Structure 1
Amino acid sequence: MKKYISAAAVLGLIVFCGVAAVLQSGEIQETQDDIEAMAQAEVIAEEEVPTSMADWRDNHLKVKGIYVTGPTAGSERMDDIISLVNETELNAVVIDVKDDAGNVTFKMNNENVISMDAGVAYIKDIEKLLAELKKNDIYVIARIPCFKDPILAATHPELALTASDGSPVTDANGNAWVNPTKEEVWDYILSLVDSCCELGFDEIQLDYVRFPIGQNAEEALYGAVSDDDNRQSYITQFLGRVCDEAHKYNVPVAADVFGTIIKSTADAKHVGQDYVTLVSNLDVICPMIYPSHYAAGEFGLDVPDAAPYDTIYAALEGSNEALESLRSGDGASSGNAAGGQGANGAVVRPWLQAFTASWVDGYINYGGPEIRQQIEAVYAAGYEEWILWNSKSDYSMGGLEK
């Protein structure tokens, strides 16, 4: 992917690896000013030019990752995260670039972010952090919540979702939503995608890429046709725009989706997320199939939260059934034992539960054994990738192979 090279990195390339580049250019950059100018001009080392997206699909890293908040990524705790990845089967981190409150977690060099004063310096030096993660061979995914954004809603009220009485459409925590039908909202997200690709993130992951539910969402005024069929069209078009933009940098795009849309057509239409359509158009799809999110009786289980293996396996078997229509001529469908991806579909990389859902009746504590059961269910269902979610980024080696 496209990467900025710091002055120090460029100097190192010139001293140790830059003979070929010097011969090609016929010049030697001798001064610090020259080196800084090269960095500012986004000099890209030839050996770092990425392969095509087709090559990525065939040869990409099989992600085993964890979610990391912005404050955690900017603290000394990140050293512990890096050590945990190095000591276990983990190989990737999903870092909040924008959190659910709309804060961009570092001082991003992005005109939109600067104009809204949306940048919060949780991460003091994003380039240094990315360099450290790459040094440790850690795959870095940029998480960007899309249509839940209180800062964008407050700064640009014309983009905010409101009910008929003028009140903002919010989630249960009071976080405001913006209008998924507005291309100005899309453009803001696209600018964040550009910035992340230029910084050197390995992958873009979009969250809240849907229409809102709950609270006063049913009263939302969109100023556009917003029946269920059109909702799917808006989301599909938006994701197409994001993929087109990120693919210019050969950066793959993932999207988080409700686990329930795998089998529920009604849920899929209402939030605008059709599972098969999204799999057909994305590089990665990340169904949130946390056992705690399923109601009692789902999959024939009295308490899905108390049956981590059975719940994950049943959810992913549902994925296999839903994606049967994408089966390729050689019998390999997207998401089956052929590697979690087929010729006609995205990688299926589920989110797994690394937290205890004490609010669920009949819940169990989630420690190492419960995490391992979920991972094994992923493999048993024919998938190879997964990500663990803990909202506090509180992880241990429990359940992870060394």
Structure 2
Amino acid sequence: MSKKSQIIAGLILLATILLWFFIYITFKNIATVVGNIEKSSSATTSENLIENELLSLLGISPNKIKPASTSTDIYMDPPKEIRAIYVTAPVALTPIWMNKLIELTKKTEINAMVINVKDGDTTYLTPKMTAVVKKIKENNIYPIARIVVVQDNGLVKTRPDLALKTASGKIWMEKNYKWVDPSSKEVWDYNLNISLKALDIGFEEINFDYFRFPASGALNDIVYPYYKEETPKSNAINKFAKYLVDNIHNADHKAVVSLDIYGYTFLKDDIGIGQNLSSLAIYFDVISPMVYPSHYTPGNFGFKNPAQHPYQVVLKTLKKGLATLQSNPEVNKNLKIRPWIQDFNMGAIYNVDMVNKQKQAIKDAGLEYGWMSWNPSNIYDISKYTK
């Protein structure tokens, strides 16, 4: 072998040794990071440390979003005008996706999130959810816990005696969901305990949805284990409402309790599902009508396709409901109306203009407490929420 070849071979050997040494040091550092993190008492905080420290090792600056701290939770006043987006639990518990939504709030008018802590299948009050709440509050985002009340596959699985049945004794279903009886005291306490736990982990507001009797499906086949059919459905729902709100406020006087109701309840005071606007407005702090234009039937307000007329549908619905509330002296004097708006394509393409028309209608109705935007996919176009 020539001298030149020997030098080249030596350099290759040296480079190989240096490369393996670099790999060894790098993985040793990573192992140290992971080993230190495994000693942490919080699994979710550990995930944040892993993410940030590994990024640092690779020479990348950690995400600008503040990680959740282990400090004691601090109360957060609700913004006067809440501009919220809906977030499912799986999305909230996925750091990469949640970080993108937090970044969205930094670039837009969004200042709150409505996060599922109980949907129609299960609950999500885990240590990871606690960390999520801390994280969004540290990024100045107001946290609202959404609880799906009587549509409850999870509870029916463990307590089938609470479920709505058919005459043959089978569990009644609406599509893929089972329902529990809204007149059951155990159902009341079950949802109350979930609400109090959500407040305990840092949520500032409890938002109840599916707080009603079924509206579709084979309604005539339903046999209720507790509800007596001679009782008006609105009376049953009102008792449930009073029990929940009173007990939540007794446990936490700062807690805000809001209710999602059909937009139609602003047009007609009882549509057969137990939601009576005038009565429910006595108990709750916030009423949130779901004024999605796509959910109005042809002919409403004279429109063949109401979904194509978001401004008129939202404005006329709110004005009618507000007039109903003003005529009832028993309504909570501090009641706020904060509608849900549509950010999904149904009946029409909901682009920037269609979303903005709904926001404008809310303002023109004289409301100043904001709105909550529903997109079931949780994919929000930044151009629809510019500051």
C-alpha contact 1:291 1:305 (8 A) present in aligned 2: yes
Cα 1:86–1:224 change in 2 (3 A) is same
- The equivalent residue for 1:92 is 112
Q: Does 1:395 align with 2:380?
A: yes
**Equivalent-residue separation in structure 2 for 1:180 and 1:92 (angstroms):** 29
- The equivalent residue for 1:373 is 357
The code of the aligned residue for 1:71 comes to P
- The secondary structure found in structure 1 opposite 2:232 is helix
142-151 or 127-136, larger mean C-alpha shift: 127-136
C-alpha contact 1:306 1:364 (8 A) present in aligned 2: yes
**Equivalent-residue separation in structure 1 for 2:313 and 2:182 (angstroms):** 31
For residue 49 of structure 1, report the CA deviation from its aligned partner: 6.5
In the superposition, the TM-score normalised over structure 1's length comes to 0.74
- Map residues 209-224 of structure 1 onto 2, 5 A cutoff: 209-224=211-226
**Equivalent-residue separation in structure 1 for 2:357 and 2:267 (angstroms):** 23
**Equivalent-residue separation in structure 2 for 1:226 and 1:381 (angstroms):** 39
Cα 1:156–1:211 change in 2 (3 A) is same
For residue 398 of structure 1, report the CA deviation from its aligned partner: 2.3
- The equivalent residue for 1:252 is 256
The code of the aligned residue for 1:355 comes to F
- The secondary structure found in structure 1 opposite 2:143 is strand
Cα 1:213–1:226 change in 2 (3 A) is farther
**Equivalent-residue separation in structure 2 for 1:7 and 1:240 (angstroms):** 39
> Which residue, 344, 348, 354 being the options, matches 1:364?
348
C-alpha contact 2:163 2:225 (8 A) present in aligned 1: no
**Equivalent-residue separation in structure 2 for 1:225 and 1:177 (angstroms):** 13
- The equivalent residue for 1:290 is 292
For residue 252 of structure 1, report the CA deviation from its aligned partner: 0.9
- Map residues 110-149 of structure 1 onto 2, 5 A cutoff: 125-149=128-152
- The equivalent residue for 1:203 is 205
C-alpha contact 2:214 2:273 (8 A) present in aligned 1: yes
- The secondary structure found in structure 2 opposite 1:379 is helix
For residue 93 of structure 1, report the CA deviation from its aligned partner: 0.2
C-alpha contact 1:169 1:176 (8 A) present in aligned 2: yes
- Map residues 123-202 of structure 1 onto 2, 5 A cutoff: 125-172=128-175, 174-202=176-204
For residue 62 of structure 1, report the CA deviation from its aligned partner: 1.8
In the superposition, the TM-score normalised over structure 2's length comes to 0.77
163-172 or 380-389, larger mean C-alpha shift: 163-172
**Equivalent-residue separation in structure 2 for 1:369 and 1:228 (angstroms):** 47
For residue 302 of structure 1, report the CA deviation from its aligned partner: 1.8
For residue 315 of structure 1, report the CA deviation from its aligned partner: 0.9
Uncovered stretches (5+) of structure 2, i.e. residues with no partner: 1-39, 43-69
C-alpha contact 2:269 2:278 (8 A) present in aligned 1: no
- The secondary structure found in structure 2 opposite 1:280 is coil
C-alpha contact 1:368 1:397 (8 A) present in aligned 2: no
For residue 241 of structure 1, report the CA deviation from its aligned partner: 1.8
**Equivalent-residue separation in structure 2 for 1:177 and 1:127 (angstroms):** 28
For residue 367 of structure 1, report the CA deviation from its aligned partner: 1.4
The code of the aligned residue for 1:187 comes to D
For residue 61 of structure 1, report the CA deviation from its aligned partner: 3.0
For residue 228 of structure 1, report the CA deviation from its aligned partner: 7.3
The code of the aligned residue for 1:126 comes to M
For residue 283 of structure 1, report the CA deviation from its aligned partner: 0.4
**Equivalent-residue separation in structure 1 for 2:364 and 2:310 (angstroms):** 13
200-209 or 161-170, larger mean C-alpha shift: 161-170
- The equivalent residue for 2:29 is none
The code of the aligned residue for 1:260 comes to Y
C-alpha contact 1:149 1:178 (8 A) present in aligned 2: yes
**Equivalent-residue separation in structure 2 for 1:317 and 1:265 (angstroms):** 14
**Equivalent-residue separation in structure 2 for 1:366 and 1:263 (angstroms):** 23
Q: Deviations over 1:225-248 (max 9, x none)?
A: 534753212211211122122212
Runs of 4+ in 1 over 4 A off after TM superposition: none
C-alpha contact 2:343 2:375 (8 A) present in aligned 1: yes
Cα 1:106–1:199 change in 2 (3 A) is closer
- The equivalent residue for 2:240 is 238
- The secondary structure found in structure 2 opposite 1:254 is strand
Aligned length: 317
For residue 369 of structure 1, report the CA deviation from its aligned partner: 1.1
For residue 218 of structure 1, report the CA deviation from its aligned partner: 2.5
Instruction: Quote the sequence identity (%).
Output: 31
> Which residue, 93, 97, 103 being the options, matches 1:83?
103
The code of the aligned residue for 1:86 comes to K
For residue 125 of structure 1, report the CA deviation from its aligned partner: 1.4
Q: Does 1:104 align with 2:123?
A: yes
- The equivalent residue for 1:262 is 266
> Which residue, 45, 58, 74 being the options, matches 2:93?
74
Cα 1:240–1:231 change in 2 (3 A) is same
**Equivalent-residue separation in structure 2 for 1:64 and 1:392 (angstroms):** 18
For residue 345 of structure 1, report the CA deviation from its aligned partner: 4.9
**Equivalent-residue separation in structure 1 for 2:198 and 2:173 (angstroms):** 27
C-alpha contact 2:75 2:204 (8 A) present in aligned 1: no
C-alpha contact 1:91 1:138 (8 A) present in aligned 2: yes
CA RMSD of aligned residues (A): 2.4
**Equivalent-residue separation in structure 2 for 1:352 and 1:185 (angstroms):** 29
For residue 344 of structure 1, report the CA deviation from its aligned partner: 1.9
The code of the aligned residue for 1:237 comes to K
Q: Deviations over 1:370-397 (max 9, x none)?
A: 1111101110111121000011111011
